């Protein structure tokens, strides 16, 4: 079988990926600090967006 690599995460997966609790991650999404895509009621966060956000946080310190 071919393994499919995820390129987007839902809110719960995104929070786990960056190591934040879901509530903190949701606040960042709602404030616009982390870009996301809305498809109907579903929120998708591209993995590349999260990688870029992490890099920005590291370089800001």
Q: Express each pLDDT in 1-59 by its tens digit.
A: 788 899 999 999 999 999 999 999 999 999 999 999 999 999 999 999 999 999 999 99
3-state helix, strand, coil in the chain (%, to 5): 50, 15, 35
Residues whose CB is less than 8 angstroms from the CB of residue 18 and which lie 6 or more positions away in sequence, other chains included = 25, 50, 53, 54
The pLDDT, as a whole number, for residue 57 is 93
d(CA 15, CA 11): 6
């Amino acid at each position: 079988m071919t393994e499919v690599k995820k390129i987007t995460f839902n809110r719960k997966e995104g929070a786990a990926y960056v190591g934040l609790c879901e509530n903190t991650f949701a606040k960042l999404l709602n404030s616009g600090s982390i870009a996301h895509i809305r498809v109907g009621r579903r929120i998708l966060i591209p993995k590349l967006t999260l990688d870029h956000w992490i890099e920005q946080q590291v370089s800001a310190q």
